[in-house]
Amino acid sequence: MKFLYTNEKNIAESNNAAMLIFAINNNRLEAQKKISGLHIAIMAITAGVCVANIYYNQPILKDIARSFNINETKAGLIPVLTQAGYGLGLFFITPLGDKIPRKKLIFMLQLLLIAVLLCITFTTTIYGLYITSFLLGMVSVSAQVLLPMAAALDKENRGKNVSIVFTGVLIGILAARVVSGYIAHWLGWRYVYGISAGLVLTVALLTWFVLPTIAVEFKGNYGQLLRSTFLQVKRFPLLRRTALIGAFIFGAFCSFWTTLTFFLSGNPFYYHADTIGLFGILAIGGALLAPVFGKLADKGHTTRSQVITISLMIAGVFLMQVFPYNIIALIMVVLLLDVGVQATQITNIAIIYTLDETAHSRINTVYMTTYFLGGALGTYAGVKSWHIGGWQMVGWQLLVWSLIALVFTFKKEKVLSTQ
């Protein structure tokens, strides 16, 4: 009798385990069945709204400097701290997307983001703004949780879904300059962050009530998760190369856009924040052209695509140096730099999501942490170059960043041929 009881108990436990596995798999299938164009659209909008917060400060640095009675160098620390916070948030927070259900993690980050935005709106000291700008960067990383989520929801349409969400990220980055410039000009720079808090609340509600929940893969603790993130760097030489290329091209991107504000607000242009923000519309047009180069990556021509796109950046820098005060030439510079940077980024994203689908968040963490730390260093280098040698010095250091990225592109081709 005891044997029968034990045997029945073992059978029952086995059945329970089988039912649990079936339920998990069924939930994953249901999540994939429920994915729709509406979900992807909401994810793209959400990603754009959240990531825009990092870039609102760039066209309004002059306004902030006047508000706190500080010079341009001190004001230039605000985007540096924001991007540094974003880089640290990418490393310490986004890997949790492989451990915590991504929908829950995104919603929690959005609530924290709302709180920080309200703090910035009412801060009264420059040091308070420094601290809150750093925190703003850390909790704005939900866009980088959404990208792996889009990749996991529908494997058959992974490339299409990820490209749509990433286009939302690009438009958010670029439109941020237009929006903040106009709001700051007509209402004041503090309203930029107050209005953003309302936008984030809207997408947070959409996230919670509309997006599906999917099971997580990683079962270890947080320490093991971070160690596993470091392991991805060791596992994939291609990831290391791609991340370094991304860091240098984004460093050039951030350096250009931060110093462009100082350049256009001074002699001979004297543009206001709303006019400076209009250059973001040009950049959005450039971002919409970038996916054309992504088709080369889909066909396996990643090195060719990156050589072309980085060469566009270099051409833009030379044009910037030859015709520094010609507004038509400057418009062409904006288009060349933005198409080059965004197209390179799309190619890089296409590369890293082919490495290991069970570790998307950790692989994305390695790439994006390197990418945005490069942006923070580029911003700092741009501000320093502006202080030392003005617009010409900014152009020369942009050329250095772009050429280094090009060198790593050719090194990456060697890695590709040996793998």
Asked whether residue 65 is domain-assigned, the answer is yes
Percentage of the chain lying above the pLDDT 70 cut? 83
Distance CA 335, CA 337 (A): 6
Model confidence pLDDT, tens digit, residues 126-136 = 999 999 999 99
The conformation of residue 55, written as its DSSP 8-state character, comes to T
Asked whether residue 23 is domain-assigned, the answer is no
Q: What is the mean pLDDT of the segment spanning 241-266?
A: 89
Q: What is the mean pLDDT of the segment spanning 62-66?
A: 89
Lowest mean pLDDT among 45-59, 179-193, 250-264, 346-360: 346-360
Answer yes or no: is pLDDT of 192 > 90. yes
The conformation of residue 227, written as its DSSP 8-state character, comes to H
Answer yes or no: is pLDDT of 80 > 70. yes
Largest CA distance in the chain: 96
Which residues, including other chains, have CB under 8 Å from residue 268's CB and lie 6 or more apart?
325
Q: What is the mean pLDDT of the segment spanning 67-96?
A: 87
Answer yes or no: is pLDDT of 20 > 50. no
220 pLDDT tier (thresholds 50, 70, 90): confident
By residue range, what is the domain housing residue 176? 34-418
Distance CA 340, CA 256 (A): 13
Total domains in the chain come to 1
pLDDT at 419: 35
φ/ψ of residue 266, rounded to 5: -110, -165
The CATH number for 394's domain is 1.20.1250.20
Asked whether residue 20 is domain-assigned, the answer is no
Taking Cα atoms as reference points, which of 385, 287, 245 lies closest to residue 48?
Answer: 287
The conformation of residue 97, written as its DSSP 8-state character, comes to G
Instruction: Give the amino acid at 97.
Output: G
Which residues, including other chains, have CB under 8 Å from residue 65's CB and lie 6 or more apart?
71, 72, 74, 75
159 pLDDT tier (thresholds 50, 70, 90): low
Q: What is the mean pLDDT of the segment spanning 83-111?
A: 89
Q: Which SS3 state, helix, strand or coil, does residue 12 take?
A: helix
Answer yes or no: is pLDDT of 38 > 90. no
Which residues, including other chains, have CB under 8 Å from residue 77's CB and lie 6 or more apart?
130, 383
Q: Quick one: angle between helices 61-68 and 189-210, nearest 10?
A: 120
